[in-house]
Amino acid sequence: MSVESLFPRLEPLLPKVQKPIQYVGGELNSTVKDWDEATVRWALMYPDAYEVGLPNQGVQILYEILNELPDTMAERTYAVWPDLEALMRAEGVPQFTVDAHRPVRAFDLLGVSFSTELGYTNLLTALDLAGIPLHAVDRTDDDPIVLAGGHAAFNPEPIADFLDAAVLGDGEQIAIAISEVIREWKNEGEPGGRDGVLLRLAETGGVYVPKFYDVEYLPDGRIKRVVPNRPGVPSRVFKHTVMDLDEWPYPKKPLVPLAETVHERFSVEIFRGCTRGCRFCQAGMITRPVRERSITVIGDMVANGIKESGFNEVGLLSLSSADHSEIAEVAKGLADRYEGTNTSLSLPSTRVDAFNIDLANEFSRNGRRSGLTFAPEGGSERMRKVINKMVTEEDLIRTVTTAYTQGWRQVKLYFMCGLPTEEDIDVLGIADLAKKVIKAGREATGSRDIRCTVSIGGFVPKPHTPFQWAAQCDHETVDRRLRELRNSLRNDKQYGKAIGFRYHDGKPSIVEGLLSRGDRRVGAVIKAVWADGGRFDGWSEHFSYERWMKSAAEVGVDVDWFTIREREEHEVLPWDHLDAGLDREWLWQDWQDAVNDVEVEDCRWTPCYDCGVCPTMGTEIQIGPTGRKLLPLTVV
């Protein structure tokens, strides 16, 4: 039976809200399929505002792949701002998709992609607006299966009560497999109802269904064990990894936003995974092994993306894009191909030790020269050893000096505060480093027109990293160190005015730490915060630390216990039954190496150091060079 569009009821509300265009849909390359011709229907959600959610590559890729299937459809939904939320509640308009404005509750699945834990309260808003019970246990056969993915889904325990299922890792193949399970189940007459299909998904070993696992606790509050509570459900759930990225050259038809968004460019992921081994970096750990796209497929994707979207900026994305084994050939080939056009190329993610000026010049050949961003992460040599960021002070000075002499005038340096074993002197070292950068730039260019911006974020220990056992630094210490650093920069008459300073205070990091390493008991905090008006916690103007602390106290959750407490080696961690491929003993040894300032090489270029990913997954690192060339486009 067809589902009616909600737009006639939504449209009268739009003149009363800010940025109404974000709710109207109809973007170039969006897809609206006939409801009755689809057997499996997905609503895909990025739990943030349209301007943040639309550029998200994960959602765009799944949207396109699912809509290519003949009897499957996918539409998108985003978090609505509080002004529209209030009007929707007053007028009884439920959560809708932007493609055809269909009610989210009518779909078979609501797939939610979490890049960050601070989107959890937005999920509850969407569920409530849709008329879907917040708790999975209260849902009926009329409600969609609520399924989480994305990096934050590698520990879905804090939102386990609100989820029907979660998947770990790459979504391309598992989304198709889940669609097949739903299709078969529906064609067979939906045997067993909701639990029947969830059991089918769980039995595959690649979909985590929280309700099929019981968590037992020790008297001191730590977890005793997590065990399946019914036959056929595996004790561990494994992540999914697409091994040949060339077979999945998506997005082929990138969505072009109607409203202004945070990124307005066509992005090509040139490789996936990272083995640099930065101990703080969850993304690098959970996306192993490295899998490169070939130079020719990258070229084809760029050409097709520009043709299909009209974007005039192309970003070559990965966790460390300059580490692609053929990056020089990629850069020169693309620069040759688009020289003299209005198409600009960018390499948003560059390591200090992988950067070279020839590469930078290729990407700025069309005359667009934005600032360069580097991430030393730690302010002292010792801290960079602790976090395994193998960048020396000499590396950084040499790199930025070369950039200044080649015409760049603005460099941004990113650091973290609150890292394990950090002391005051390590943070103050950031000021010394920034001053040396300005000094070297002035000396090399003979100009005082040199700028450096220092940007600092609070460190949050993440699951599936060597720092998953670490005590998080309390926000008072972080804020004090940041004040001292700011004063050191401001009070320097010689260099202070040339150095910009941006930082996030320590309070949001504590909340993120609670959500990133929490267990199922933290769900009560999330619900209490949401009930108290918590929305858009990733936005500083909406975030309230006091609301989170008050809610935690009300439900009896000790925030310090989840954040600033160091874990013991054999403590059962909330995510231990969710397998990212990493060997737990290797992670623990790397944590011990961190405490002892021991660095570990990148296993792409050195012998394997046994992190566990390749043997666990029956694979190996995939890198070039392919030796192929990127030919100029033929004019037809």
Asked if 228 and 335 sit in the same domain, the reply is no
What does the pLDDT read at residue 636?
35
- The conformational region for residue 57 under phi > 0 = left, psi -120 to 50 = alpha, else beta, is alpha
- Asked whether residue 98 is domain-assigned, the answer is yes
CA atoms of 550 and 355, how far apart (whole Å): 46
Asked if 214 and 297 sit in the same domain, the reply is no
Asked if 232 and 271 sit in the same domain, the reply is no
Asked if 205 and 290 sit in the same domain, the reply is no
Q: How many CA atoms lie within 13 A of 325 on its CB side?
A: 16
Asked if 109 and 32 sit in the same domain, the reply is yes
Domain that holds residue 630: 265-369+601-635
What does the pLDDT read at residue 224?
98
Asked if 17 and 148 sit in the same domain, the reply is yes
Q: How many CA atoms lie within 13 A of 263 on its CB side?
A: 19
Q: If you average pLDDT over residues 307-321, what whole number do you get? A: 92
Asked if 185 and 88 sit in the same domain, the reply is yes
Asked if 234 and 279 sit in the same domain, the reply is no
- Asked whether residue 453 is domain-assigned, the answer is no
Which region among 186-190, 194-198, 423-427, 501-505 has the lowest average model confidence (pLDDT)?
501-505
- Asked whether residue 511 is domain-assigned, the answer is no
- 545-592: per-residue pLDDT in tens? 999 999 999 999 999 999 999 999 999 999 999 999 999 999 999 999
Q: SS3 helix, strand, coil % of the chain, rounded to 5?
A: 40, 15, 45
Asked if 44 and 190 sit in the same domain, the reply is yes
What's the Cα-to-Cα distance from 395 to each of 279, 384, 386, 392, 399, rounded to whole Å? 20, 12, 17, 5, 6
- 28-51: per-residue pLDDT in tens? 999 999 999 999 999 999 999 999
The residue assigned the tokens 């053929």 is: 326
Does a cis peptide bond (omega within 30 degrees of 0) precede residue 607?
no
- 294-306: per-residue pLDDT in tens? 999 999 999 999 9
CA atoms of 373 and 368, how far apart (whole Å): 15
Closest by alpha carbon to 338, among 636, 20, 633, 86?
Answer: 633
- Where a domain ends, among 238, 254, 281? 238
Asked if 85 and 171 sit in the same domain, the reply is yes
Closest by alpha carbon to 538, among 49, 137, 124?
Answer: 49
- Asked whether residue 622 is domain-assigned, the answer is yes
Closest by alpha carbon to 452, among 507, 495, 393, 395?
Answer: 495
What does the pLDDT read at residue 349?
63
**237, 168 Cβ separation under 8 angstroms:** yes
CATH code for the domain of 612 = 3.30.750.210
Mean predicted lDDT score pLDDT of the chain: 93
Three-state SS at 367:
coil
**282, 319 Cβ separation under 8 angstroms:** no
Three-state SS at 445:
helix
Position 115 pLDDT exceeds 90? yes
- Asked whether residue 433 is domain-assigned, the answer is no
Domain count, the chain: 2
Position 634 pLDDT exceeds 60? no
**Other C-beta atoms within 10 Å of 141: how many?**
10
- 235-257: per-residue pLDDT in tens? 999 999 999 999 999 999 999 99
What is the amino acid identity at position 301?
Answer: M
- Asked whether residue 529 is domain-assigned, the answer is no
The H or E element that residue 117 is part of is none
- 197-207: per-residue pLDDT in tens? 999 999 999 99
- 2-22: per-residue pLDDT in tens? 799 999 999 999 999 999 999
- Asked whether residue 36 is domain-assigned, the answer is yes
CA atoms of 162 and 176, how far apart (whole Å): 23
- Asked whether residue 168 is domain-assigned, the answer is yes
The arrangement of strands across the sheet holding 72-78 comes to 72-78, 40-46, 109-113, 145-149, 165-166
Asked if 295 and 218 sit in the same domain, the reply is no
Asked if 223 and 102 sit in the same domain, the reply is yes
CATH code for the domain of 131 = 3.40.50.280
Position 86 pLDDT exceeds 80? yes
Q: If you average pLDDT over residues 348-353, what whole number do you get? A: 72
What does the pLDDT read at residue 251?
96
What's the Cα-to-Cα distance from 250 to each of 53, 57, 179, 293, 594, rounded to whole Å? 17, 9, 19, 12, 38
